[in-house]
């Protein structure tokens, strides 16, 4: 029976001989992730059920990143629950301030996620790891608690939707623009409970950072997963980040991680993106997408460059390149948040941090902070922010009467200089 890559991975983690979309399956998971918002609930349920010891502490990752560094007493208590549980259960993959990062950038960087893995996380953007050719999806805290107990989780096998991108990308156009364009085309429910499979000549040429960005926002189209077939670029990345004996990956393992030629898709989209220009999602949906050049009248109060979507080193390089030797618009706040401590150090070594600060921006330790309206950049009534984050719902970054626009790092940096949404070519 022919299968998509998503179906192959799910099937490989069950005792079944075959599966099809719509089936409910119980599968063994390779990794379970929780953060300072969701894991305390899972820990409480784990203990409420009377269990004293997790099944496999090496398959659990805990990262306090949403309200960390703790912004108040309540968030400090949430983080302490994770710290205490990690100590009690001897969970080695617990990452707090000083060695932490935004979870969805940190796990791949640590070599904890591999092609073919089945990963769950009590966070909707767990789908990020699909860029590595694994099946990664968000779950509820009770599902996370269950995985602590027996290493399993229930899944409904999703139908797959294939996206084929052809042509050659223009300057300043990258993964963020491709996924915004996609969501703009199909809507926030266009792939509801589907596995989104990104493919085509354009995807093959994208670097890993751009791929992570695309998979990260699959959930914004309703997708359960956003998967890219692993290739030489994936393999090179994996070899660089996996150094422990338990994480040896061979080329042979990759050969089966591709959809069969006659695999069934619910739908296939094919676009030539040669004429695509930088995209911006306007309030109050990720699907309200327009070309950056069409929004030059939109004034901004704040720009945020970072997050699990666009806080990687290549994102900072793009933004710093545009800001070097320039000053941001007077009165505008520019907040830069590298996604991990490693990225932070590299930004300092390469002089990127200096470029941002000299331009008038401020650096933050890795945190989800402003993305979910937690801290480090909350908006008040009437303020507008352009962010490289992934959601712009009403009230997402503070006041329900504020406005959030989404873009890639190039548009964000250019806009910080002019104080308005700006195509990067305008300031080069």
String of DSSP letters for 74-106: HHHHHHHHHHHHHHHHT-S-B--TTT-B-HHHH
pLDDT value at 427 more than 90: no
Q: Which residues of 375-389 are buried (b: 16+ CB within 10 A; e: fewer)?
A: bbbbbeeebbbbbbb
Model pLDDT, residue 372: 87
C-alpha–C-alpha distance, residues 361 and 278, integer Å: 22
Indicate the pairing of strand 152-156 with strand 24-28. Answer: antiparallel
Model pLDDT, residue 249: 52
C-alpha–C-alpha distance, residues 37 and 400, integer Å: 21
The chain-wide mean pLDDT, for the chain, equals 94
pLDDT value at 423 more than 60: yes
Residue pair 39/67 in contact (Cβ under 8 Å)? The answer is no
Residue pair 62/92 in contact (Cβ under 8 Å)? The answer is no
CA dist list (Å): 373 to 60, 343, 367: 27, 23, 12
Model pLDDT, residue 245: 47
User: What's the whole-number mean pLDDT along residues 282-307?
Assistant: 97
C-alpha–C-alpha distance, residues 38 and 60, integer Å: 13
Q: What does the pLDDT look like over 370-381, one tens digit per residue?
A: 888 888 899 999
C-alpha–C-alpha distance, residues 20 and 424, integer Å: 45
In the three-class reduction of DSSP (H, G, I as helix; E, B as strand; rest coil), residue 330 is classed as: coil
User: 11: closest CA among 191, 155, 149, 198?
Assistant: 155
List CB contacts of 44: < 8 A, sequence separation 6 or more. none
User: Which runs of consecutive H residues, i.e. helices, occur in 90-173?
Assistant: 103-109, 141-150
What is the distance, to the nearest Å, from the Cα of residue 102 to the centroid of all Cα atoms in its chain? Answer: 9
Residue 369 confidence class, pLDDT cut points 50, 70, 90: confident
CB-neighbour burial class of residue 252 (10 A; exposed 0-12, middle 13-18, buried 19+): exposed
Q: What does the pLDDT look like over 75-101, one tens digit per residue?
A: 999 999 999 999 999 999 999 877 888
Q: What does the pLDDT look like over 113-151, one tens digit per residue?
A: 999 999 999 999 999 999 999 999 999 999 999 999 999
Model pLDDT, residue 255: 60
Q: Find the range with the poorest average confidence among 105-119, 195-209, 233-247, 288-302.
A: 233-247
pLDDT value at 68 more than 90: no
C-alpha–C-alpha distance, residues 414 and 198, integer Å: 28
Task: Domains for the chain: give ranges and CATH numbers.
Answer: 5-271 (3.30.499.10), 279-426 (3.30.499.10)
Residue 158 carries which DSSP code? P
β partners of residue 156: 24
Model pLDDT, residue 256: 73
pLDDT value at 72 more than 80: yes
Residue pair 147/26 in contact (Cβ under 8 Å)? The answer is no
Q: What does the pLDDT look like over 215-257, one tens digit per residue?
A: 999 999 999 999 999 999 998 999 888 755 445 555 455 567 8
β partners of residue 406: 281, 387
C-alpha–C-alpha distance, residues 333 and 7, integer Å: 45
Please tell me the number of Cα atoms within 13 Å of 340 on its side-chain side. Answer: 19
User: What's the whole-number mean pLDDT along residues 370-395?
Assistant: 93
Model pLDDT, residue 241: 86
Please tell me the number of Cα atoms within 13 Å of 80 on its side-chain side. Answer: 6
Model pLDDT, residue 243: 55
pTM higher than the cut 0.85: yes
Percent of the chain beyond pLDDT 70? 97
Q: At what angle do helices 352-359 and 341-349 cross, to 10 degrees?
A: 80
What angle is formed at CA 102 by the lines to CA 213 and CA 287, rounded to 5 degrees? 35
Model pLDDT, residue 253: 56
Model pLDDT, residue 105: 95
């Amino acid at each position: 029976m022919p299968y998509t890559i998503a179906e192959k991975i799910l099937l490989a983690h069950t005792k079944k001989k075959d599966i099809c979309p719509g089936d409910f399956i119980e599968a063994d998971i390779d990794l379970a992730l929780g953060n300072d918002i969701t894991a305390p609930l899972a820990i409480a349920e784990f203990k409420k059920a009377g269990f004293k010891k997790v099944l496999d502490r090496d398959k659990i990752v805990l990262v306090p990143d949403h309200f960390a560094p703790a912004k108040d007493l309540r968030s400090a208590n949430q983080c302490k629950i994770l710290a205490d549980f990690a100590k009690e259960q001897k969970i080695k993959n617990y990452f707090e301030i000083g060695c932490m990062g935004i979870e969805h950038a940190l796990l791949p960087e640590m070599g904890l996620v591999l092609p073919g893995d089945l990963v769950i996380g009590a966070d909707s953007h767990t789908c990020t790891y699909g860029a590595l050719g694994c099946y990664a999806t968000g779950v509820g805290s009770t599902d996370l608690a269950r995985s602590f107990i027996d290493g399993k989780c229930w899944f409904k096998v999703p139908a797959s939707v294939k996206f084929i991108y052809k042509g050659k990308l223009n300057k300043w156009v990258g993964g963020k623009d491709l996924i915004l364009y996609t969501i703009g085309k199909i809507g926030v429910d266009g792939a509801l409970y589907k596995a989104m499979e990104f493919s085509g000549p354009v995807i093959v040429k994208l670097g890993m950072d751009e791929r992570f960005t695309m998979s990260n926002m699959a959930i914004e189209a309703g997708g359960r997963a956003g998967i890219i077939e692993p290739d030489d670029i994936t393999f090179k990345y994996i070899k660089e980040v996996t150094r422990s004996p338990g994480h040896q990956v061979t080329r042979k393992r990759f050969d089966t991680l591709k959809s069969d030629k006659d695999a069934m898709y619910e739908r296939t989209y094919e676009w030539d993106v040669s004429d695509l220009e930088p995209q911006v999602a306007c309030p109050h949906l990720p699907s309200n997408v327009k070309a950056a050049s069409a929004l030059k009248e939109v004034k901004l109060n704040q720009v945020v460059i970072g997050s699990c979507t666009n806080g990687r080193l290549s994102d900072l390089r793009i933004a710093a390149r545009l800001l070097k030797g320039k000053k941001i618009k007077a009165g505008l706040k520019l907040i830069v948040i590298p996604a991990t401590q490693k990225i932070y150090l590299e930004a300092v070594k390469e002089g990127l941090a200096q470029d941002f600060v000299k331009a008038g921006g401020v650096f933050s330790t890795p945190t989800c902070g402003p993305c979910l309206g937690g801290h480090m950049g909350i908006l008040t009534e009437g303020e507008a922010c352009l962010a490289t984050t992934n959601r712009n719902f009403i009230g997402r970054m503070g006041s329900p009467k504020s406005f959030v626009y989404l873009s890639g790092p190039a548009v964000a940096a250019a806009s910080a200089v002019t104080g308005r949404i700006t195509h990067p070519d305008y300031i080069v």
